[in-house]
Amino acid sequence: ANDFGKLELIGKSLTFEEPDHESFKSIRLSYKALDTGGTMPAVLNASNEAAVNLFLNRKIRFLDIQDLVEQCMKGHKTIQNATLNDILNAETWAKEAVHKLLN
């Protein structure tokens, strides 16, 4: 439970705008992973998980998350038409790469 009441959207309006890809690097990285395909989306996800864990443990700052993800993506050699094993290996590689980038 929290101190916030129930969110009522009935009778309200929401406004959506084009996302700012320069201000929000994570959006750009997500599109890049999607466009690249292969093992890159797994690398994006795994490196993000590892970086968020570091943030939650107060090892890095919040904005360091997207920088670590970007560095992992730049260092990854994408495998297209990846097997399940390729994807699992890419996940392991990305998580290890995040920790290596800190050392």
pLDDT digits (tens, 9 = 90+) for 57-99: 999 999 999 999 999 999 999 999 999 999 999 999 999 999 9
Other beta carbons less than 10 A from residue 28's beta carbon: 16
The pLDDT score that the predictor gives to residue 97 is: 98
Mean pLDDT of the chain: 95
**pLDDT at residue 1, rounded to an integer:** 63
Token pair 């439970």: residue = 1
Return the CATH number of the domain spanning residue range 25-102.
1.10.1740.10
**Is the sign of the CA dihedral 34, 37, 40, 42 positive or negative?**
positive
Two tokens at 57?
């443990």
**pTM for this predicted structure:** 0.83
The share of the chain scoring above pLDDT 90, in percent, equals 83
Amino acid at 70: E
CB 73 within 8 A of CB 35: no
